[in-house]
Chains A and B, each alone.
Chain A
Amino acid sequence: MKAHLSRLCVLSLLAAILFVAQLPQVAAQGGEPQYFAIRGAKVVPVSGPPMEDATVVVARGVILAVGGKDVAIPADAWVIEGKGLTVYPGLFDGLTDVGIPSASPAQGEGGPRGGGGTPTAKGPEDRPGATPWRTAANEVSLGDKRIESWRNAGFTTVVSSPKGGFFPGQAAVLDLAGERSGDLVVKAPVAIPISLNPSGGFGSGFPDSKMGVLGYVHQVWLDLDWSSKAGAIYEKNPRGISRPRYDRVETALAGALEDHALVLIPANSALELRRALVLVDRWKIPGAIVGAQMAYEVADELAAKKLPILVSLKWPEAEKDADPDDVPSLRDLRFRDKAPSSPAALAKAGVKFAFTSDGIASPAEIVKAVKKSVDAGLAPDAALRALTLSPAEIFGVADRTGSIEKGKIANLVVTDGDLFGEKTKIKMIFVDGKRFEIREPDRPKDPPKGDMTGKWTLKYTTPEGDEETTVDLTMAPDGTLSGTTTGKRGTATIITGYASAEKFSFTINMPIQGNNEDVIFTGTFEKDTMKGSIAVLSFSIDFTGTRPPATAGSISLGGVQ
Chain B
Amino acid sequence: MSNTPMLEVRDLKMRFPIGGGLLDRMRLDKKGFRIENPVVQAINGVSFKIEPGEVMALVGESGCGKSTVAKTIARIYSPTGGDILIDGENISDYGFSEMLPVRAKMQMIFQDPFASLNPRQKVRDIVAEPLLEQTKDAKSQKDIPAEIEALLAKVGLNSEHAGRYPHQFSGGQRQRIGIARALSVRPGLIIADEPVSALDVSIQAQILNLMMDLRDEFGLAYLFISHDLSVVHHIADRVGVMYLGFMVENAPRDQLFSKPKHPYTRALLSAAPSIKPTRDKEEIELTGEVPSALNLPSGCCFRTRCPFAWDRCAKERPVLKDVGDGQSVACHLTDEPEREVA
Asked whether A and B interact, the reply is no
